[in-house]
């Protein structure tokens, strides 16, 4: 079964101008690389990406059949979707175990969502 | 004859129902299907036993018929092929063939407890699911205990069962690295049931069933996990508080505080069971909050033997509990114990340090404790004011009666 692990962080902390020391960001990036390798080795890696900040997002909204574009993410939240992993796991516990391994500094959240089986 | 069959069925359901439901749920990895299959088997028993005679092993019969039913449902819906692929094709007419059969029912209750109490489920859903699935308590009864409607409770249960299925919550015993977290979730779930059963004593006359199920569940867990000291501690805690149920209300239905209860009404058998559990837990050598809470209640229970409550021991135990698992409830109870061990003023000083719910003044246990301590200190006007504040916070009927009586005694 596949699970999407959605990573939510305060993206301001990732902006070099306002946030965290570059060395810390480098360490987190390196930890992501290590996790990616571990997922590959376990045969659990389906995919994953880091996303550009929400300032680059465009939302296409359809209301009553007519579509319009909006500058920005779907929802304005304190923490933003920053990246994801798509993993193969036998059950929720195994997916949560991968979710717990995702690095990201002192404060962040990982949502574990099963992929709908067709 | 018919009456006998009904009695035997009721007995089999009472004694083996949880085991049968658990075995079905784990085998087919579907809680709904297990429930439906078990209900079907019970119904078939009602229909066929009076006519054909009672099977030699009623529980095994119920399990086999339930399993057959689950298999049929699985085949019909086809979506659960993977879950049932290892189930053998059952005999064409199991009900007659099984009359003389004996087959042990696998004990899957521990696995089912871990499924129902999975930390990925909301706490209130966990306990409802556990009481429904393991104890067979009706949705209506569970809804009543948590002061919600049957429809709302049914939705909560349905949502939880759907999550177990769709997010694929594992039906295996947790791996060692997840063991602590998963066991904590089980303990926290049983603690909610226990707190509710305890609370219920003052509310409803039919609370006994919830309390009985909590006793049974905590005892079962202690039986299944005899090497986990906190599991033994929780089982002891539940027994100690339950031992006092007969002494908690007076003839008028008013609450009697612990220190004023007639110890002759306490259930000595439950206390002895608790003490034995605590001894076993202590031998395992890993203390924790449930063992500490049990120790506090055991200190109170020792009044049965020694005639007085060892209040300074109680205070010491509360000090340790505050260090291990600080909470506002513990801090308030500690302040009351300090008042008994030292003086009412010392208790009030301890109460003044309580940090807790944001609006402490609107919190009933705090106001009730405050009233008691002021009264003990002879500060009647402040006691009356606290009693009035407590009464304004919608206490349960038994506590209301108690508080009103205290207020009347102050002449206010």
The Cα B56–Cα A83 span in angstroms is 61
How near does any CA of chain B get to the CA of A20, in Å? 31
Q: Put the strands of the sheet holding A45-50 in their side by side order.
A: A45-50, A80-88, A2-9, A109-114
| Amino acid A76: pLDDT | 85
What are the backbone dihedrals phi and psi of residue B40, each rounded to the nearest 5 degrees, phi first?
A: -60, -45
**ipTM higher than 0.90?**
no
Chain B: residue whose CA lies nearest to A117: B166
Chain A: residue whose CA lies nearest to B164: A92
Give the number of other Cβ atoms within 10 Å of residue B45's Cβ: 23
**Using beta carbons and an 8 Å cutoff, which residues of A are at the interface with B?**
1, 90-94, 96-97, 112, 114
Q: Give the tens place of pLDDT for each residue, B64-118.
A: 999 999 999 888 776 555 555 555 545 545 555 565 556 678 899 999 999 999 9
CB pair distance less than 8 Å for B168 and A97: no
The Cα B167–Cα B160 span in angstroms is 10
- Orientation angle between helical segments B311-324 and B328-341, nearest 10 degrees: 160
Domains of chain A by range and CATH? 2-114 (3.30.70.1060)
Taking CA atoms, B245 is separated from B146, B255, B352, in Å, by: 20, 11, 31
Residues B402, B339, B287, B118, Cα dihedral to 10°:
40
Which two three-digit tokens encode residue B229?
A: 């000291």
Of A92, A112, A114, the CB nearest to B170: A92
Mutate to test the interface with B, among A87, A88, A92, A116 (most CBs of B within 10 A): A92
Asked if B270 and B239 count as a contact pair (C-beta separation under 8 A), the reply is yes
CB pair distance less than 8 Å for B168 and A92: yes
pLDDT band per the 50, 70, 90 thresholds, residue A93: very high
| Digitized pLDDT (tens) for each residue of chain B, 412 residues in all | 456 889 999 999 988 999 999 999 999 988 989 999 999 999 999 999 999 899 989 999 999 999 999 999 888 776 555 555 555 545 545 555 565 556 678 899 999 999 999 999 998 899 999 999 988 888 998 888 888 899 999 999 999 999 999 999 999 999 888 899 999 999 999 998 888 887 765 555 556 778 888 999 999 999 999 999 999 999 999 999 999 998 999 999 899 999 999 999 999 999 999 999 999 999 999 999 999 999 999 999 999 999 999 999 999 999 999 999 999 999 999 999 999 999 999 999 999 998 765 678 888 999 999 999 999 999 999 999 999 999 999 888 899 999 999 999 997 6
Asked if B356 and B328 count as a contact pair (C-beta separation under 8 A), the reply is yes
Distance spanning both ends of chain B, measured CA to CA: 64
| Residue in this structure with the two tokens 């939240």, named with its chain if needed | A77
pTM: 0.84
Considering only CA atoms, which of B273, B198, B271 is closest in space to residue B240?
Answer: B271
Give the number of other Cβ atoms within 10 Å of residue B109's Cβ: 22
Determine how β-strand A109-114 pairs with β-strand A45-50. unpaired
CB pair distance less than 8 Å for B170 and A94: yes
CB pair distance less than 8 Å for A92 and B172: no
Which two three-digit tokens encode residue A84?
A: 């994801």
């Amino acid at each position: 079964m596949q699970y999407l692990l959605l990573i939510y962080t305060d993206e301001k902390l990732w902006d070099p101008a306002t946030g965290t020391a570059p060395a810390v960001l480098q360490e987190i990036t390196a930890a992501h690389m290590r996790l990616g390798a571990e997922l590959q080795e376990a045969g659990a890696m389906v995919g994953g990406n880091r996303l550009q900040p929400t300032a680059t997002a465009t939302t296409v909204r359809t209301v009553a059949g007519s579509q319009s574009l909006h500058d920005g993410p779907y929802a304005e939240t304190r923490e933003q979707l920053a990246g994801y992993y798509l993993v193969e796991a036998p059950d929720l516990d195994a997916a949560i175990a991968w979710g717990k391994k995702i690095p990201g500094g002192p404060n962040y959240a990982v949502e574990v969502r099963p992929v709908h089986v067709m | 004859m018919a009456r006998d069959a009904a009695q035997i069925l009721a007995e089999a359901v009472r004694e083996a129902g949880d085991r049968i439901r658990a075995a079905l749920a784990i085998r087919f990895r579907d809680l709904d299907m297990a429930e439906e299959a078990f209900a079907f088997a019970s119904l078939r028993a009602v229909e066929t036993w009076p006519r054909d005679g009672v099977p030699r092993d009623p529980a095994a019969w119920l399990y086999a018929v339930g399993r057959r039913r689950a298999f049929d449902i699985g085949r019909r819906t086809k979506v659960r092929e993977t879950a049932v692929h290892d189930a053998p094709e059952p005999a064409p007419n199991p009900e007659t063939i099984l009359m003389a059969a004996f087959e042990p029912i696998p004990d899957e209750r521990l696995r089912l407890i871990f499924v129902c109490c999975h930390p990925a489920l909301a706490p209130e859903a966990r306990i409802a699911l556990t009481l429904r699935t393991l104890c067979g308590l009706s949705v209506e009864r569970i809804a009543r205990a948590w002061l919600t409607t049957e429809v709302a409770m049914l939705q909560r249960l349905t949502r939880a069962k759907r999550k177990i299925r769709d997010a694929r919550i594992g039906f295996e015993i947790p791996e060692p690295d997840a063991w602590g977290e998963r066991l904590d979730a089980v303990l926290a779930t049983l603690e909610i049931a226990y707190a509710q059963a305890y609370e219920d004593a003052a509310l409803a006359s039919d609370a006994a069933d919830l309390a009985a199920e909590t006793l049974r569940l905590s005892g079962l867990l202690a039986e299944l996990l005899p090497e986990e000291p906190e599991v033994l501690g929780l089982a002891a805690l539940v027994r100690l508080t339950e031992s006092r149920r007969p002494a908690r209300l007076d003839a008028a239905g008013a609450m009697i505080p612990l220190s004023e209860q007639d110890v002759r009404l306490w259930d000595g058998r439950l206390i002895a069971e608790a003490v034995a559990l605590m001894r076993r837990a202590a031998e395992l050598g890993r203390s924790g909050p449930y063992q500490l809470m049990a120790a506090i209640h055991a200190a109170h229970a020792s009044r049965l033997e020694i005639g007085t409550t060892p209040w300074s021991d109680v205070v010491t135990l509360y000090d340790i509990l505050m260090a291990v698992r600080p909470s506002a409830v513990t801090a308030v109870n500690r302040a009351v114990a300090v008042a008994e061990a030292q003086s009412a003023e010392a208790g009030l000083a301890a109460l003044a340090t309580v940090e807790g719910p944001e609006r402490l003044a609107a919190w009933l246990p705090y106001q009730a404790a405050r009233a008691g301590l002021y009264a003990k200190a002879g500060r009647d006007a402040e006691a009356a004011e606290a009693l009035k504040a407590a009464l304004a916070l919608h206490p349960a009927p038994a506590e209301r009666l108690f508080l009103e009586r205290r207020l009347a005694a102050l002449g206010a």
